[in-house]
Structure 1
Amino acid sequence: MVSLNEVYLVDYVRTPFSRSRPASRERSAFSEVRADQLVGYTLRNMFEVRLKDKVKPEEVSEFGVGSSFPVGKQWPYAGRNAWFSGNMPYTVPSVFFDRACGSAMTALDHGIMMLMTGYGDIYIASGFEHMYQEPMSPDLQHNMSSPKHLIVPNPDDNNFWYRDDIDIMTGFSMVQTAQKLWEQEADHIPIERMAQLGVTSHHNAAKALDEGFFKGEIVPVMGHKEGDLNEPVLYDYDLPIRRGATLEKTLSLPVVSNPGFRGGYKNKLYKKKEYFEKFGTKTGTITAGNSSPLNAGAATAMIMTKEAMDSHNMKPMAKILSMGWASVDPSVMGRGPVPSTEMALKKAGLKAEDIDYWEVNEAFAVVVLNFIDHFKMPEETVNVKGGAMAIGHPLAASGIRLPGTLARILKEKKAKYGCAALCCGSGQGVTLVIENTEI
């Protein structure tokens, strides 16, 4: 029987998450900073400040990085752009990963398995996204008749996206995947419940900010004042947090999704009258109040084998217990974290009730609430420092932020087990289960 090495999370750092407004350069606080530079800031902070004189960059076995849109200014150059942006040595190999929002957690998975099997002893994983410089609107003209509205093209056009068995076109619109999930679960996830989760997320994040919790994981980044390119501002907090969030305000925000009787799906799911009778509304239900915003940001984590950790006199943030990944129908991609978490819990030999705290990515409130209802865990154990609806969701970067923040929560709460999970565009899910070794 093969003996696997124990692997530990030993450090984690991230940038603040800015608000990205693709139509406004001036209002996007990080518009003048490249995505790979954001990773570079985390790498330099990790080696020059947090781990100074403990670990040298040249000791790293490999660097893995993920992004959801590896195009344009986010071109990864096999991960080397981000690594070199931190002035790191060329002797360390790098690799790039793409699993949409789960890209960086997948990079971390790769490193975990690499260290477990003895192919290295120190590994760094990063995730980044800059949703101003590379907005969430890739060029879909090829093999699409209408990328703006995601209308299903004529199958006679030899269009390989056309599938009779999968509503894959809906899968290209994250808003519509959330709307479709809500329509399937509306009986126990009412509109008010989604809005309340958004309000709770902002309140929890604001409280954590005031208490100084995030200072333990954020490296400040120089951007500019929102609305003024010429006024530099050093940011050490997440810009999307709204202190004044209320249920009334959140419920009043405009809808951004199409209901099941209108465009947005390959096939209309309901007649207008049927939709109203079933759901009590004539509109969609996904709004800015129950969704994550667009952001720019980066996050980085270092993992080590126990032997390497001990030889460098390092203390663990958490022990990695297990990983999980899974796939679902792309048109309801928000279901992805459920089967990936079932896999991770099984591999860890744990049940949902064994988990003390959860970080479930708030891409959309309906994703988290569906997850909570499936595993029947207390809502107050989920995203206790706020989630992506308040902190932000720079896509791939969230795959590092969630387990990193979770490890810090376990320390603060003196709790043993934590689980971090994300849904992924294209219909997938990724999960990590970690343990606080001090308990």
Structure 2
Amino acid sequence: MAERLSSVLRQVTGSSKPIDVIQQQNPDDIVVTLAIRTPLAKGKKGGFKDTLLDGLMLKMLEQALRKSNLDPQLVEDVCVGNVSDAKAAYYSRAAVLAAGFPPTTAASSVNRFCSSGLKAIQDIANQISAGSIDIGLAMGVESMTQGGDRLERPFVDDILNANQHAADCMQPMGQTSENVGKDFDITREVQDRYAAESYRRAEVAQKAGYFDDEIVPIKATIKDPKTGETKEVTLTKDEGPRYGTTYESLSKIKPAFLPHGDRSHAGNSSQVTDGAAAVLLMKRSKAIELGQPIMAKFVGATVAGLAPRIMGIGPSIAIPKLLGKYGLTIDDIDVVELNEAFASMAVYCKDKLNIPWEKMNPRGGAIALGHPLGCTGARQVVTGLSECRRTKKKVLLTSMCIGTGQGMAGLFINEQL
């Protein structure tokens, strides 16, 4: 099917290069006209620790409305990716109305674990492509401070006893990371050296101001846990980067997921984080009609499944599946944003797919920046497009593993060169 699609595209366009095909500009293209995010704050103790999920949604929606310079009457749907709160659909609809959108702007929430933000983008893009709506806003929002464990009980016996894959969906994420490390012989040292580089890149990027054009300042109220006093602060920078982190310092951290293994720990795993991101989408023809800036073209996205016990290697399945649909190879990609849920899976995917390390997470990833679950899929698009603009690169690939054994990948073309 993928080969047939690529063949048809070449016949229609007269081009022999698939990379040229996906960069062509047509009126019906789905384009990004706004891509922004909040700073990423440390869960439980950072700048958003006292901001509830609906409050964080509202802050992001207000900024999206302000920064877009778009009549809110024109936005027909808002889709919010969120993982940790089953009431997210209530919050998203109420926050949309509170932010200044009219009752005619619909809202929903979506949850496919760590890909939820990208799935929200895919949902809005598909609606526009199908003609269901003209303009939509995709968001990813997560308060890991407030969110709890979604598995409050084991699965019913009929599921647990059905087969091993079904039972393995119970495995905690840390255990799956240790499975990847052991199954594919990714040593503690290799993981720690990878993590140290993620921290180094994030430090360099933050000090150089690379994140500044993607982050919108957010005011928040924080409460002193000792005195009970509250004060208002303005968050402008990510709180995750730990300057001066080295392999040597990481090598001293105790394993976090015993007895499952001794290779993953707090320093080479993604951080618990609060944050939000927003991506505004419409057809190219509509953006031109409204005078909206065209930042990028959404090419497509796909999801893939695999054994739940090694869920971390999901991108190694999803990325080839997506590239194959368009006749592309990893050599056609300029920037890769791959979620660093754990160093084990990041190392595996990088090596398995032969991704040049200089292309992958050039500003660091979730190990250094944080991984607000439902936000990450949108956050990586925001960061990746910012990096493409800075370096005058065109093709962005974003991907992440997904709990219970899945992977997702998305493809974008930067048009702000």
**Residues 108-154 of structure 1: CA distance to partner in whole angstroms, max 9, x if unpaired?**
1111111122222211011111111113x23523547xxxxxxxxxx
Q: CA deviation at 1:81?
A: 3.5
Q: How many residues align?
A: 391
Partner of 2:176: 177
Q: Map 1:287-436 to 2 at 5 A.
A: 287-436=265-414
Q: CA deviation at 1:378?
A: 0.9
From the superposition, tell whether residues 420 and 226 of structure 1 become closer, same or farther in structure 2 (CA, over 3 Å).
farther
Query: What SS does the corresponding residue of 2:267 show, helix, strand or coil?
Result: helix
Partner of 2:253: 253
**Residues 136-175 of structure 1: CA distance to partner in whole angstroms, max 9, x if unpaired?**
x23523547xxxxxxxxxxxxx453334331634644010
Q: CA deviation at 1:4?
A: 9.0
Name the stretch that deviates more: 342-351 or 124-133: 342-351
**Contact (CA 8 Å) 1:29, 1:225: kept in 2 or not?**
no
**Contact (CA 8 Å) 1:322, 1:345: kept in 2 or not?**
no
Are 1:66 and 2:81 counterparts? yes
TM-score by length of 1: 0.83
Q: Distance in 2 between matches of 1:426 and 1:343?
A: 19
Query: What SS does the corresponding residue of 2:125 show, helix, strand or coil?
Result: helix
From the superposition, tell whether residues 98 and 43 of structure 1 become closer, same or farther in structure 2 (CA, over 3 Å).
same
Are 1:194 and 2:204 counterparts? no
- Structure 2, gaps ≥5 residues long: 1-7, 13-25
From the superposition, tell whether residues 34 and 84 of structure 1 become closer, same or farther in structure 2 (CA, over 3 Å).
farther
Q: Map 1:1-150 to 2 at 5 A.
A: 5-21=28-44, 27-48=45-66, 50-52=67-69, 55-71=70-86, 74-77=87-90, 79-135=92-148, 137-141=149-153, 143=155
Q: Distance in 1 between matches of 2:97 and 2:168?
A: 37
Query: What SS does the corresponding residue of 1:13 show, helix, strand or coil?
Result: strand
Partner of 1:274: none
**Contact (CA 8 Å) 1:171, 1:425: kept in 2 or not?**
no
Partner of 1:272: none
Query: What SS does the corresponding residue of 1:434 show, helix, strand or coil?
Result: strand
Q: CA deviation at 1:315?
A: 2.3
From the superposition, tell whether residues 349 and 392 of structure 1 become closer, same or farther in structure 2 (CA, over 3 Å).
same
Letter in 2 for 1:194: Q
**Residues 299-320 of structure 1: CA distance to partner in whole angstroms, max 9, x if unpaired?**
1110110111101112222111
**Contact (CA 8 Å) 2:305, 2:407: kept in 1 or not?**
yes
Letter in 2 for 1:166: H
Query: What SS does the corresponding residue of 1:166 show, helix, strand or coil?
Result: helix
Corresponding residue to 1:209 among 202, 206, 209: 206
Q: Distance in 2 between matches of 1:75 and 1:161?
A: 28
Overall identity of the aligned pairs, in %: 27
**Contact (CA 8 Å) 1:5, 1:117: kept in 2 or not?**
no
Q: CA deviation at 1:366?
A: 1.4
From the superposition, tell whether residues 386 and 342 of structure 1 become closer, same or farther in structure 2 (CA, over 3 Å).
same
Name the stretch that deviates more: 116-125 or 27-36: 27-36
**Contact (CA 8 Å) 1:130, 1:295: kept in 2 or not?**
yes
**Contact (CA 8 Å) 1:40, 1:87: kept in 2 or not?**
no
From the superposition, tell whether residues 19 and 163 of structure 1 become closer, same or farther in structure 2 (CA, over 3 Å).
farther
Q: Distance in 1 between matches of 2:355 and 2:78?
A: 35
CA RMSD of aligned residues (A): 2.3
Q: Distance in 2 between matches of 1:18 and 1:246?
A: 22
TM-score by length of 2: 0.88
